[in-house]
Chains A and B, each alone.
Chain A
Amino acid sequence: MKKPVIDARGVDLTFQTNDGPVHALKDVNLEINKGDFVSFIGPSGCGKTTFLRCIAALETPTGGALTVNGLTPDEARKARSYGYVFQAAGLYPWRTIAGNIRLPLEIMDFPKDEIAGRVEKVLELVDLKGFGKKFPWQLSGGMQQRASIARALAFDAEILLMDEPFGALDEIVRDKLNEELLKLWARTNKTIGFVTHSIPEAVYLSTKIVVMSPRPGRITDVIESTLPKERPLEIRDSEEFIKIAHRVREGLRAGHDA
């Protein structure tokens, strides 16, 4: 049997704050296999972002076991095994789009003659060909977020972690980017962890939907999607889609009442 890419067993995380301890994650068990598209959905404070940050070794669990590619999250971070996309594009205003995508490559000491080719390749992947010489402020919010995805893809990490990457964008742009993200996922076969608070987004994108609830942050339901891998936007009107969305909503409500 293949080992899961991300394996969480009884992960606990308690933050010590001035107002006393906050139980951010409680007994989180989850396996993510290679090529999965996993969405984390739940109300704010349910620990979905915190769990993603644990995978990225930006937070350290206070209990349980968490491995990424069989390594500890920190070793995986040092091995540069994931690309991380934040809610804001966070492009450097003093670098061009190509310059921004070069940033991780420069830090990771990629050979100089290889960098230009990689930048071109990922610009094409996110449909920003020809925008490399532009500065971030010359691009729309959606294009900036695409550039930040390109930046996360540039160094060919197997895992892509995305923390509400389209949360700040309007519905129309979000739809388009969702569609593109699916195509990109199909082409690159990456393992994707995706935090969102939108039910349609989670159902549309994922092969596995993790429903979480707050106080303490925990998993209330894990739904394996029965939707086909090929997903046109119209699939959101299908009975199958509505059924899964319903189950997500039920899971969210159950967590809320508890």
Chain B
Amino acid sequence: MNKIIPVLTMLAVIVVLWYAAAVKMNSQWAMDQAARAEVELTFGELVKDTLSQDRPKLPAPHQVVAELWETTVEKKITSKRSLVYHGWITLSATMLGFGIGTVAGIALAVGIVHNKAMDLGVMPWAIASQTIPILAIAPMIIVVLNSMGISGLIPKAIIAAYLSFFPVVVGMVKGLRAPDAMQLDLMKTYNASGGETFWKLRLPSSMPYLFASLKVAVAAALVGTIVAELPSGAVRGLGARLLSGSYYGQTIQIWSALFAAAALAAALVIIVGILEKVVLKRMGMAK
């Protein structure tokens, strides 16, 4: 209970500020319209108008909520205007990309930890890959893959994987190197093979690091998918909703897509968090 009150207070402050900003930003349009129609607006009429425009500069919270409600609950989920439909398109590419990124990240980390050449050679490239703006590389990947006849889910998933493998590599390299010299010496006194040391010591030791990375990676995968949906002129997915909203000045649609994406990201991070709790608890490593 004592957690809910501060959270609700912050939320109330944000909503109040949002309404104030909406009134301020949308009032110019309302006054221009009134001047054209040669009518005088009272303050009450002005406020009412700024909060109910079709294409406001900044939609009011209730407009976004109404749009969200309409496009998730009232629309059939097969409809092209349903956010659930678009959310699913984005989610499926996100999950595929997250999966590819995680597997690639773990594989690279295993290589880096066990192979001197990879240790020296791979990490700089992995870091360099993340310094390239994803907005610059995403269209190229899509164009290249398209010319190879691959389109739709796969290119988006690859861009999602491109963003999500990195935190997994960094976290897993750290995690696989977590065992200290004493624990490694102990394995040596047993004359354990590299494989046994990996499965019985390094991998279990790395679990807390893995889950911390996965939380970052799953959010990054979602961002990657949405970015991939922007330049391809995609007609499906949350990214496409953002793009078409900005084409047609549908700010309410943009904001509701943004909130849908944020909610999806939050849900994914929470699911990974729950998984982390369950696994670490079963391993006796929960704090």
Contact = CB atoms under 8 A, between A and B. Distances in A.
A174 B279 CA distance: 36
A69 interface: no
B189 A90 contact: no
Contacts of B207: 94
A106 B186 contact: no
Interface string B162-203: 000000000000000000001101111111100010001100
B186 A78 contact: no
B190 A93 contact: no
B191 A77 contact: yes
A135 B284 contact: yes
A82 B196 CA distance: 19
A56 interface: yes
Contacts of A84: 185-186, 189
Contact of B190 (A87, A94, A108, A135): A108
B191 A80 contact: yes
Contact of A80 (B186, B190, B204): B190
Contact of A93 (B188, B191, B200, B284): B284
B190 A92 contact: no
Interface in B193-247: 196, 200-201, 204, 207
Given A90-B183, A94-B204, A107-B196, A56 B189 contact: yes
Nearest to A58: B185
Contact of B200 (A56, A87, A107): A107
A77 B182 contact: no
B196 A94 contact: no
Interface in A30-58: 56, 58
Contact of A92 (B182, B185, B191, B201): B201
A56 B188 CA distance: 9
Specify the main secondary structure of chain B where it touches its partner: helix
A94 B284 contact: yes
Given A90-B183, A94-B204, A104 B190 contact: yes
B189 A82 contact: yes
Contacts of B187: 107
Interface string A86-98: 1110101111100
A108 B189 CA distance: 11
A94 B191 CA distance: 21
A107 B190 contact: yes
Interface string B253-287: 00000000000000000000000000000011100
Contacts of B285: 93-94
Interface residues of B, number: 18
B191 A106 contact: no
A139 B220 CA distance: 41
Interface residues of A, number: 25
Given A86-B182, A135-B284, A137-B284, A92 B204 contact: yes
A58 B196 CA distance: 18
Nearest to A106: B200
B183 A77 contact: no
Contacts of B201: 92
B283 A78 contact: no
Nearest to B282: A94
Nearest to B200: A103
Nearest to B185: A58
B192 A94 contact: no
Given A86-B185, A107-B191, 6 more contacts: A77-B189, A84-B185, A87-B182, A90-B186, A107-B187, A107-B196
27 contacts: A77-B188, A77-B189, A77-B191, A80-B190, A83-B189, A84-B186, A84-B189, A86-B186, A87-B182, A88-B182, A90-B182, A90-B183, A92-B201, A92-B204, A93-B283, A93-B284, A93-B285, A94-B204, A94-B284, A95-B284, A96-B284, A103-B200, A107-B191, A107-B192, A107-B200, A135-B284, A136-B284
**Would you list the 10 A-B pairs with minimal beta carbon distance, nearest first?**
A94-B283, A135-B284, A84-B189, A107-B190, A107-B192, A94-B204, A104-B190, A78-B191, A86-B182, A107-B196
Interface of A: 56, 58, 77-78, 80, 82-84, 86-88, 90, 92-96, 103-104, 106-108, 135-137
